[in-house]
A and B are shown apart, each in its own frame.
Chain A
Amino acid sequence: MSGFAGFAVRRTVAAVLTLLALSVIIYVVFYATPGNVAQITCGPRCSPEQVHQVAQQLRLDDPLYLRYWHFLEGIVVGQDYSTGTSVEHCSAPCLGQSYQSDQQVMQIILTKLPVSLSLVIGAMVLWLLLGVGTGILSAWRRGRLSERVLTGITLAGLSTPVFVIGLVLMIVVCGQLELLPFPEYVSFSDDPEQWAWGLLLPWLTLALGEAAYFARLTRASMLETLAEDHIRTFRAYGVGERSIVGRHALRGALAPIIALNANDFGSAVGGAVLIESLFGLPGIGQELVHAVNVVDLPVVVGMVLVIGFFVVLANAVADVLYALADRRVVLT
C-alpha cells in the first residue's frame, strides 16, 4: 500500500504545482499584456478616476512578480480593498471583483456553479451509461450488421457539433413533437422533479456527443482486451462468450475508460458552455460568454482559474483511479 500512498502524495503535489503554473500563465497572459491593463480590467465604460483606482488596486507600479504574489495572496488568505468610499473585505479564496457589476468574482461563480455542476454531472452519468453500453454491445457483436450500424451512429455522433445536436433536439423534441418543455433551470432544492425535467434535454445533448467518444473508446479497449492471452485461456476452458465479454474483458477494458472519463472532463466543460448558452441556463458558461462579450476581465480570469482547478482536480483523480484499477488488473 505504501507504493500507492506514495503515488497519491506525488500526484497531489504535482496537481498543486500544475495549478500554480496555470495561475502564473493565466496571470501573465491577462495582466501583463501590453496596453492599458487598468483600462482593460475596469472595462470600456470606466471613467479616468475609476481606471486610476483600479491601477492602484492591481498595484501596476509594482514589478510583475510582486503583483502576481499579491494576486496569489488574495486567493489564499483573502484581501481588503477600497472601493473609493469604504474598505471592503474579500475573503479567501478571493478572485477579485468585477468592476462592471460591483460584485465579487467568487460570489458570481458560487451562484452559477450549481447550474453547471448539475448539467455536467447529470450528463456524465448519462454518457457513461450510453457510451460504455454501446461500446460493449458493438465489441460483442463485432463483424455483424448491428455493429456496423452502431459504428455508423457513433461516427455521426462524433461529427456533429454539440450545439447542432442541441438545436436539432430542441426544435424536434420541444418545438415539433412537444415531448418535453423547453429547457429551463429550476434549483434542485426548490423542486427536484422540475430540476430534472428542465435539465433532461441539456443532459441528453451533452451526453450524446461524449457518449459517441466513449463508445468508440470502449469498443477499442474491449477488442484489445479480448485479444489478450488470458481471454483466450478462458475461451479454451469453455467459458461462455457472454461471460467473457461481460465480466472478464470488461474488467480489463474499464481502467482506461475511467481514466479518460476524468481526463475528458475539460472537453465536457467546453460543451457545457455551448449548451448553457443555447438553452439559456444561467451557469458558469453563460456567464463566461457574457463576461467575454462585455470584456469583464476579472470575471473571465476568475472563471478560467476555477474551471482550471476542476480540470486539474479531475485529472489527478483520474490518475489515482487508474493506478487503483491497474493494480486490481495486475492482482487478478
Chain B
Amino acid sequence: MSEALVATQVPEADASGTSGARQFWRRLRAQRAALVAAAVVALLVLVALAAPLLTAIEGQDPTTYHPSLVDSARGGVPIGSFGGISGDHWLGVEPQTGRDLFARLVYGARVSLGVALAATAVQVLLGVVVGVASALGNRWVDQLLSRIADIIVAMPLMIMALALLAVVPGSFPRPVLVALIIGFVAWGTIAKITRAATLTLKELDYVSAARLSGWGTWRIARRELLPGLAAPIITYAALMVPANITIEAALSFLGVGVKPPTPSWGQMLTSANVWYQAAPQYLLLPAGALFVTVLALTVLGDGIRTALDPRAASRLRVGTGRGQEAKS
C-alpha cells in the first residue's frame, strides 16, 4: 500500500540540473495560491528572524513582568480595553504576569519555525542516509533497515516524542531537545521514500555507466543518486515542516515541550485556556498564528509538490474537472 503511494512520488528520469530548477520555478510561479503562501511564509520567517529588532522598536521584551498592568483584584485581568492594547503594548499583555504579548508572539514564531526546521533537517538527514544505505546495501542491511523504518513509521509520533521527553535530563536546552526528539521519531517515511526512489534510480543507464566505469558506491550515491533524489525528498520535507510545527505546538501545549519562560504558541494556548472570556486575544493570537503558519506551509508544500511532480499532483488539484477523464 505505502509502497504504491511512494512509487508515485518518484519522478521520471528527470535529474537534469539547471533546466529542472528553472522548470520548477516556472511551475511554482504558475500557482497563485502557492505564491501567496510563499509570501506569507517569507513574512513569518522575516518576523521570526527580526524578533529582537521588532520588540526593540516596540520597546518591550518577552520575559519582563509588568504587574502594574494587570488588575490583581480581579485575578490578574489586563487593565484597559482589549486586553491592555496600547502604544507601548501593541497586542496587549498576558493576564496575571503582564508580559508583552506581541513580544511573546514574535519570539514564539522563532521557537515554532526554528524547532520545525531543525526537526525537518534531522528527519531528512536520518531518512536519506538510512534510505540510500538500505537501497544500496546487501539484502540483510536492506531487510534490517527497512524493518526498523517500518516500526518507526508505525509508532505514533506524539506518543514516542512524549515518552522520550520523560527520560531526557531536564538540563538539556528545551527547544533543541524537542527538535531532536521530533527528528528522531519521524524519519521513517522519508527513509522509505528515499529507498524506493534510489531503487528506481539505481537501474537507470547513467548510474550503471558510473558503476561500469568503476566508481565506488559512496561516489555514485553522492554524485549520481543524490541529485535525482532531490525532487521526492524536497516534496516530502516541505510537507513535514507544517506537521512538525503542529507537533511542537502540541507537545508544548501538553506542558512537556518548550518550557517557560521561553515563549511558544502551544504553551500560550494552554495558559490562555482559562482566560478566554476576560482576555480573548490572549487565546486568539497564538491560535491564529498557528493556523496561518500551518496553512501557509501546507499550501506551499502542495505547490512545491505540484511543481516537482505534476503527474501525481494533478489528482489532488482543485477543480481539474472533466479534463481529468479525457486525459486518462
Which A residues are closer than 8 A to B by beta carbons?
17-18, 21-22, 25, 29-30, 33, 35, 40, 142-143, 147-148, 151, 155-156, 158-164, 167-168, 171, 175, 216, 219-220, 223-224, 226-228, 232, 256, 259-260, 263, 266-267, 269-271, 273-274, 277-278, 288-289, 291-293, 295-297, 300-301, 303-304, 307-308, 311-312, 315, 318-319, 322
Contacts and interface: CB of A to CB of B under 8 A. Distances in A.
- The A interface, classified by DSSP as helix, strand, loop or mixed, is helix
29 contacts: A18-B154, A142-B320, A143-B319, A143-B322, A147-B318, A155-B295, A159-B242, A162-B250, A163-B253, A164-B290, A164-B291, A175-B277, A220-B315, A223-B315, A227-B328, A256-B1, A270-B250, A274-B158, A274-B250, A277-B253, A288-B159, A288-B162, A289-B255, A300-B163, A301-B163, A304-B159, A311-B154, A311-B155, A318-B1
Query: Chain B contact residues: over half helix, strand or loop, or mixed?
Result: helix
Interface stretch (B75-83, B102-110, B164-172, B223-231): B164-172
Contact of A224 (B158, B163, B169, B315): B315
Nearest to B295: A159
B246 interface: yes
Contact of B164 (A29, A35, A148, A167): A29
B294 interface: yes
Contacts of A295: 166-167
Interface string B11-31: 000000000000000000000
B287 A164 contact: yes
Which size class do B's interface residues fall under?
35 or more
B172 to A, nearest CB: 12
B291 A159 contact: yes
Nearest to A151: B318
B156 A307 contact: yes
B39 interface: no
A199 B166 CA distance: 29
Contacts of A308: 154-155
B298 interface: yes
A289 B256 contact: yes
A250 to B, nearest CB: 16
Given A148-B318, A292-B162, A304-B160, A223 B287 contact: no
B276 interface: yes
Contacts of B36: none
A172 B1 CA distance: 40
Task: Give 9 closest A-B pairs by Cβ, nearest first.
Answer: A143-B321, A270-B158, A227-B328, A159-B295, A266-B156, A292-B166, A159-B294, A270-B156, A161-B246
